[in-house]
Amino acid sequence: MGCASSLNRDVIRVSKDWKRKNGQPVAYHSRETRILQEEEVDVCLNDEYDVIESDWIEWPEDYQMLEEKGAWVKGVSSGGSRNDLEQFSTNPQFSLNVGPPELVAESMNFDPYTSYFKDATEEKKIKLCVSLTQHGPKLLHVAFFIYKKESWPGERLGAEFFLVVEPEGDTGAFVNWRQLKHEYSLLPGAYVIVTANFTPGSEGEFAVAVRGPKPFTLTKIPQDQDFI
């Protein structure tokens, strides 16, 4: 299941313009090329699935699970999909710091020649399971996105950030499932999880949970925090 996108291709128009050269008719082709901007669009799918899975209860003892609760509130924190980035930036955001604190700090300000991150191999990545569970009788079309940041943890991400930075991971199309759960392999660093429902103004409560090897932290970013 992946994000859908629409790609508007170049539009080419060709017409014949008849003129005379040395008394003979000659056809000249005039060409008009109109470049249309490539646009990626979030979509939703009707695929209701009202099930909560508990298979991660059997994970090793040295793993931890952290959970934060949140809510989409009309006019406050229900900004809808990325089809409107200004509104999208008002959605609930959660700070996820992966790995030891010293590596989290280094990931945001490092020397590419001496840094731990200069060779970003798969062995250095940490596998985490992230879930979004809806609470309430009505299932909204929901998704979440994980962004890596290079500024200090705890700051909200704004529309300008979303315009130029692609997510490190997401759940694909918005679906009306009780629970979304995916595994991600992430380098140590500071990340932000953005939880969204498809339609701006739709209200509902939910919980975000992360499980994986220690250490990592998960905290809710205040709604009134400044954007970066």
Q: What is the pLDDT of residues 80-119, one digit of tens each?
A: 999 999 999 999 999 999 998 888 887 776 555 556 666 6
CA distance 198 to 3: 13
CA distance 153 to 107: 11
pLDDT tens by residue, 25-58: 544 444 443 333 334 567 777 767 776 776 655 6
> Model pTM?
0.76
Q: End-to-end alpha-carbon separation of the chain, Å? A: 30
What's the gap between Cα 210 and its chain centre? 16
pLDDT of residue 156: 93
Rg of the chain on CA atoms, in Å: 23
pLDDT of residue 172: 93
CA distance 27 to 154: 65
- Is 160 in contact with 209 (CB distance < 8 Å)? no
Segments making up each domain of the chain, as ranges: 44-220
pLDDT of residue 153: 59
Assigned CATH topology for domain 44-220: Jelly Rolls (2.60.120)
> Is residue 70 pLDDT above 50, yes or no?
yes
